């Protein structure tokens, strides 16, 4: 009896500790320890996007690919070593994920003013928000206080990042496993209003699918032949790939989604109504996108004394 009560008390303390750890994430986390952290990051991010507009897209995607593998812990930034399996060479990242240097440069600037204080995981989260705001998307209060991992996992990255050929059910289930709803998934996929995809990711769709607009498919085929040109780029949003708006959803309603994983969001299934709502109501898309990014930023956190604050983002201390 006493042992049972002891175990229950222990579990309760564990619960309180875990709640306390969660509570440590806050938009004001660095207000005393490094008051100019977020403005310093913003400056670095703005200057990177000013010289390469696509970088806005790449930074938003980097946060997604970080959070879906071991949580938002900057594991995606670690280089290969004898003890680290870099995620940079995972299927969804290799020759595809961009922006590692932009985060490292922001980190260098922040280290100059507050050495050892600001995590790389937080810098990625702030960079994604600043990128969104810079290109006309929502700004939102990023919660801070994440810590950096001392490990990475290519195996997990290969297993957990969604792929362009997946169907709706499988995509919904992947997001659900991370605590995100189908609505969150549709809002987050709306970041395909920005950026580019390589020919090999949409070839099957433009040659072999029936739910694709004929004119759109034929335009895309010009630069993406049946064989070769695998890495030739096409915009994910055919109308306005450089600004954050809701044209992505309008495209889907005309069967002009570039990836299979885009078009499945509007193909007679359970998410059709969300796509159509966002196509009619850009303000709702914008506010849901901000909320979903905040929620995604909460996945699998290291807080308190877990993990570390890396000195450079590409290697553990």
**Is 298 annotated to bind ligand?**
no
Rounded CA-CA distance 96/26 in Å is 31
3-state secondary structure of 26: strand
Q: Is 41 in the site for ligand HEM (CB under 6 A)?
A: no
CA of residue 233 relative to chain centroid, distance: 20
Long-range contacts of 87-93 (CB under 8 A, 24+ apart): 87/152, 87/153, 87/154, 87/156, 87/157, 89/154, 90/154, 90/157, 90/158, 90/161, 91/157, 91/158, 91/161, 91/163, 92/65, 92/157, 92/158, 92/161, 92/162, 92/163, 93/65, 93/157, 93/161
Q: Strand pairing partners for 26?
A: 144
Residue 65: active-site member: yes
Q: Is 54 in the site for ligand HEM (CB under 6 A)?
A: yes
**Is 193 annotated to bind ligand?**
yes
Q: Over the range 253-274, which residues count as b (16 or more CB within 10 Å of their CB) and which as e?
A: eebbbbbbbbbbbbbeeebbeb
Q: How many residues bind ligand HEM (CB under 6 A)?
A: 26
Q: Is 162 in the site for ligand HEM (CB under 6 A)?
A: yes
Q: How far is the CB of 172 from ligand HEM (least distance, A)?
A: 9
**Is 166 annotated to bind ligand?**
no
Rounded CA-CA distance 176/86 in Å is 25
Q: How far is the CB of 304 from ligand HEM (least distance, A)?
A: 26
Q: How far is the CB of 233 from ligand HEM (least distance, A)?
A: 7
Q: What angle do CA 34, 299, 201 make, to 5 degrees?
A: 110
Q: Which is nearer to ligand HEM, 31 or 52 (CB)?
A: 52
Contact region for ligand HEM (CB under 6 A) — 107-115, 146-154, 187-195, 278-286? 187-195
Q: Is 72 in the site for ligand HEM (CB under 6 A)?
A: no
Q: Is 191 in the site for ligand HEM (CB under 6 A)?
A: yes
Q: How far is the CB of 1 from ligand HEM (least distance, A)?
A: 50
Helix axes 272-280, 182-189, angle to 10 degrees: 50
Q: Is 93 in the site for ligand HEM (CB under 6 A)?
A: no
Q: Which is nearer to ligand HEM, 242 or 306 (CB)?
A: 242
User: 68 and 160 in contact (C-beta within 8 Å)?
Assistant: yes
Residue 144, classified by CB atoms within 10 Å of its CB into exposed (0-12), middle (13-18) or buried (19+), is: buried
**Is 155 annotated to bind ligand?**
no
**Is 192 annotated to bind ligand?**
yes
Using CB under 6 A, which of 195, 257, 290, 297 touches ligand HEM?
195
Using CB under 6 A, which of 171, 182, 212, 302 touches ligand HEM?
171
Q: Using CB atoms, what's the residue nearest to ligand HEM?
A: 195
Q: Is 127 in the site for ligand HEM (CB under 6 A)?
A: no
Among residues 54, 61, 63, 65, which one is catalytic? Answer: 65
Residues of this chain that interact with ligand HEM (CB under 6 A) are: 54, 57-58, 60-61, 64, 96, 98, 162-164, 171, 185, 188-189, 191-192, 194-198, 201, 236, 259, 261
Please list the active-site residues. Answer: 65
């Amino acid at each position: 009896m006493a042992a049972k009560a002891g175990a229950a008390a222990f579990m309760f303390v564990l619960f309180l500790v875990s709640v306390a750890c969660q509570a440590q994430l806050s938009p004001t986390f660095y207000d005393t320890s490094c008051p100019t952290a977020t403005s310093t990051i913003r400056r670095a991010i703005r200057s990177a996007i000013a010289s390469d507009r696509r970088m806005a897209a790449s930074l938003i995607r980097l946060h997604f690919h970080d959070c879906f593998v071991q949580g938002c812990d900057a594991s995606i930034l670690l280089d290969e070593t004898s003890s680290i399996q870099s995620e940079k060479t995972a299927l969804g990242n290799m020759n595809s994920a961009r922006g590692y240097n932009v985060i490292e440069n922001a980190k260098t600037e922040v280290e100059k003013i507050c050495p050892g204080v600001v995590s790389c995981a937080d810098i990625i989260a702030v960079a994604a928000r600043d990128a969104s705001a810079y290109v006309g998307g929502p700004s939102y209060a990023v919660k801070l206080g994440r810590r950096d991992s001392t490990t990475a996992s290519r195996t997990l990255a290969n297993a957990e990042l969604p792929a362009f050929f997946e169907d709706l059910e499988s995509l919904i289930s992947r997001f659900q496993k991370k605590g995100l709803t189908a609505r969150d998934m549709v809002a987050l996929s709306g970041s395909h209003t920005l950026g580019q995809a390589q020919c090999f990711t949409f070839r099957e769709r433009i040659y072999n699918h029936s739910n694709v607009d004929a004119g759109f498919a034929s335009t895309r085929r010009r630069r993406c032949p049946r064989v070769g040109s695998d890495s030739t780029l096409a915009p994910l949003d055919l109308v306005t790939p450089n600004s954050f708006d809701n044209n992505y959803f309008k495209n889907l309603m005309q069967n002009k989604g570039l990836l299979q994983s885009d078009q499945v969001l509007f193909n007679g299934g359970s998410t059709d109504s969300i796509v159509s709502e966002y196509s009619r109501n850009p303000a709702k898309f914008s506010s849901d996108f901000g909320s979903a990014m905040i929620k995604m930023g909460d996945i699998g956190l290291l807080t308190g004394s877990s993990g570390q604050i890396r000195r450079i983002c590409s290697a553990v201390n």
